[in-house]
Structure 1
Amino acid sequence: MFERVAATTEIDRLYSTSHAFGLPNLRLYSALLLVCWAAVGARAQPDLPVVRANTPIVDVREGDRLFKGEWTISPTVPLDIYVPRRSDDPATITFITDVESRSFAIRPGEKIDFVFLLNGRDSCRTQIWMKERPARRVPGTPAGPVTIPFRLMGGKPHVQGRINDSSTLWLLFDTGAATTVLYPSSLDKGVEPKFDGTVLNAGTGGTVERRTASDNRITIESLFWEHESAIYVEKKHDSGDGIIGINLFDGKVVELDYDGMEMVIHDSLPEHAIAFACLPMGFDGTLPTVEAAFGVGDDQTAVSMVINTGGTGALMGNESLAMSASKLHGYSIVGKAQASGVGPRKISMDVVLLPEFTLAGHTFHGIPMLVPAREDGADVPAVNAATPRGTLCLDVLSKFNMMLDFKDNRAYFKPNTRINEPIRAKVSGTPIGLRVILPVVAMGVLGYVVFRIRSAMSGRHAPTP
């Protein structure tokens, strides 16, 4: 896992949900993608290694993991800092452009400078900084798995922790984010971040410039992390005081037990994982994905889905997924929704019912999914070139106890005591997140049911809602 830090940057994805919708500049899915700094028209410095490119999108390989399209060359600022996955061991980082690839061997704590040369004329000075280290144990605490109780707040899993010298904070554990987020209430509780930069946070509803702090200490139970970056989001989009993403748990196995309301951090896969269904875990950028399927009976279509514990509702999909579902298997549009995130605007969505949706061997029937709204008068959703993809949100995820193995890239699911509870509309009066008014046209029910689905969505990176 990696993040990008800079003094003035662009977050390409904070939450995975925006990526699922195929929205422009919201590749969310959403953890922290910061765009490169460079001087427009500047030539590459001759004393630094040069990596040539004719297109700005760059793949990055860290060890055995390839991050497709995860770096964007933007010759507008003087420096961009690439932070690799956290490790105590040396690493090899390879940048792969449409012209060539170049590898850099780096040690923990080391910095390496080089230059991207775009189209033979625009240079972007880049620095690899291996600053982030794995979690440490608080002195005097025992070895072994670390159990962290969590509470559902707004339907989302929150843990208690501290940042810097703060009092106790409630922090959303969001697998759809790959950075730490601070809300105003965290400052009221004594976080006192040292702001030293800004980012252009391109999230659901638009782009907003926000402040960042690059050096923070995070403590959760008996684990702590030092020199962690954080973004300050002044528009609170959650019940807690901030967000922690999956970037803190590189090389760990994260278990979420909704029956016991516990999050357990393992150094290796526990023996009881044998009772879980195991799925290969891919990555959409830096955010974890698994394969699910939709269809009718034996006619099923596979789709990659981001695992997003920061998103309420059941499923979200991009335009290509909506088109595939409509043409191949059919669905019913039952209403409209408005998606809101950290941006200033709302996005129109359709609420559809999929006949069947299968995850880890369990099939859900008549499950709701949010997709980009159809154009007026169109028979099918507008089509873009994106691969069909979507997002698994909490109405589905909370019906499984699960483990995410960030060592061997596997996800484990086991139905819990919630598995047979129906996925219902949520009635609420205060307009936050997503407000959906569904005309109920099936099953002979007359009238309208007003319900709301709250969604944590943003441009990330993460991912950040």
Structure 2
Amino acid sequence: MKYILAFLLSIFSLIQIMAQKKLPVIKANSPKAIFIEEDNGLKTDWNIDPSIKPDAYIVSKISKGSKTVKIKTDIDSIKITVKKGENKDFVILLKDKDSCLTRIESQAPKNFSTVKPAFHDSIRLGINEQNTMFVKAALNKTDSLILNFDTGTSNLSLTAEALKDKIKQSLKAGVNVLSIGNKKYYGFKIYKVELSGHGTDGRFGWDLFDGMVVELNYDHGTMVVHSQLPEYVKKDKAYEPLNIKYFNKVFFVETTIKQGSKTNKDWFLFDTGYQRTAMLDGPLLREQNFPTDQMKIIKKVIMKGGQGNEIPVITANLESLSLGKYNLKNIPAQLLSESRPIMDKKMNILGNEILKRFNIFLDFQNNVVYIKPNKLFNDEYIEKQ
């Protein structure tokens, strides 16, 4: 019996070796490549390095099904498809001599729906006149902070002023703890920024809650972190579901805008950290034949970017903007005369002057946003006051 077992083990080892030898191979003469996620267009410049084995490219979070990545070298290309939580290896043969083991990696999805006991952590949610929503938090149990929940970013960013005046202890990568409400969050990176939402010490991103469900209830002034989506949300027909698409470390929802006879449907960045209505990329919309020249100009201003850079912005009247079945009219939207690519991608942005008009459930388990109009839905826009 033991000889049979040894024989089977040897056969299994041989099969593994043969499988490894049959890894897909593409060739390259240059150490530079490009990785392109086909569902969202994310392009990443890649350095081919034979000393790293495997050299892993981590794809954006997969909402549904699978994701295909196209890898292009200077002389060859290949497409690799991965499912949620799956890794696939291939070899880039550099200059016909260096075998570079490369991996396309999809991180295993997080899901807290089976956690016992279930949690529903309620936190006081504030919003100021500048549309910055904020919560109280503590970093490493001692440093009290006011932070903006910014779905247009990831990890934790603190202003230079907060790092200087409010952080009393040294920060060590990988061991910091952020306390919000009754829960503690780990595994995030900390970045230094020049600016944050008005009156805040910094901002934290949606990925802190990956695998959870976040409720933003402006009627009650609460933010609730749930281990699973409450049953009543799906039963309440007033809640409109919007599918999520991930791009690198941010997420988008489908949005429809209309001007005159022209309707345009596209994916907009869902950005609670952007304080205004919507930021429209003028050149992108013109490429899509959207008549931005028909939008009546309200005013022109210079806006500060996240790093203090100046951006000229025109505020113009957008006739209509729809999220699912809900429609808003005559929105004073910010219209960029020049594209402002984020992560090398032209995009339009939904800001909190629109998003605050809905009570929201962000379901990061099933990758769906649920929205329902709240008491702010018919309020006059700040730009028009």
Give the letter for the 2:332 counterpart: P
Distance in 2, Cα, partners of 1:406 & 1:359: 19
The one of 302, 313, 321 aligned to 1:357: 321
Letter in structure 2 aligned against 1:182: L
Q: What do the CA deviations read for 1:37-70 (whole angstroms, capped 9, x no partner)?
A: xxxxxxxxxxx99876787432469xxxx66426
The 3 A distance-change label for structure 1 pair 226 and 283 is closer
1:191 positional shift = 5.1
Name 1:253's counterpart in structure 2.
213
Q: Which residue of 2 aligns with 1:201?
A: none
Q: Give TM-score scaled by structure 2 length.
A: 0.71
In the alignment, structure 1 residue 399 sits paired with structure 2 residue 376: no
User: 1:2-401 maps to which residues of 2 (within 5 A)?
Assistant: 56-59=33-36, 68-69=41-42, 71-74=44-47, 96-98=70-72, 99-101=77-79, 143-153=118-128, 154-184=130-160, 185-187=162-164, 188-190=166-168, 192-194=170-172, 213-233=173-193, 235-238=194-197, 239-273=199-233, 274=236, 275-296=238-259, 300-323=263-286, 324=288, 326-327=290-291, 330-373=294-337, 389-401=347-359
1:422-441 pair list within 5 angstroms: 422-425=380-383
SS class of match (2:376)? coil
Secondary structure, counterpart of 1:395 in structure 2: helix
Q: Residue 146 and residue 288 in structure 1: after superposition, are their counterparts in 2 closer, same or farther (change >3 A)?
A: same
Q: For 1:174-227, what per-residue CA distance to the aligned partner results, in whole angstroms no more than 9, with x for missing partners? A: 110022212231452335213xxxxxxxxxxxxxxxxxx454222222222333
Structure 1 residue 316: deviation in Å? 0.4
When Rg is computed on C-alpha atoms for both structures, the one with the higher figure is 2
Q: Does the 8 A contact of 2:210 with 2:365 survive in 1?
A: yes
Task: Give the structure, 1 or 2, with the largest relative contact order (CA under 8 Å, sep 6 or more).
Answer: 1
Cα 1:240–1:351 change in 2 (3 A) is: same
Which residue in 2 is equivalent to 1:202? none
- The structure carrying a bigger helix percent of its residues is 2
* Whole-Å separation in 1 of the counterparts to 2:323 and 2:362: 15
Q: CA deviation at 1:81?
A: 7.4
Residues 272-328 of structure 1: CA deviation (Å, up to 9, x unaligned): 213301122222333221112122577532122111000011010113444247538
- TM-score normalised according to structure 1 size: 0.60
SS in 2 for 1:247: helix
Structure 1: unaligned runs, 5 residues or longer: 1-47, 87-91, 195-212, 375-380, 428-465
Matched residue type, 1:227: G
- Cα 1:128–1:102 change in 2 (3 A) is closer
Distance 1:103 1:112 in 2: 8
The share of aligned pairs that are identical, in percent, is 25
- 2:6 corresponds in structure 1 to none
Cα-Cα RMSD: 4.5
In the aligned structure 1, how far is the partner of 2:171 from the partner of 2:322?
43
How far did residue 394 of structure 1 move?
0.8
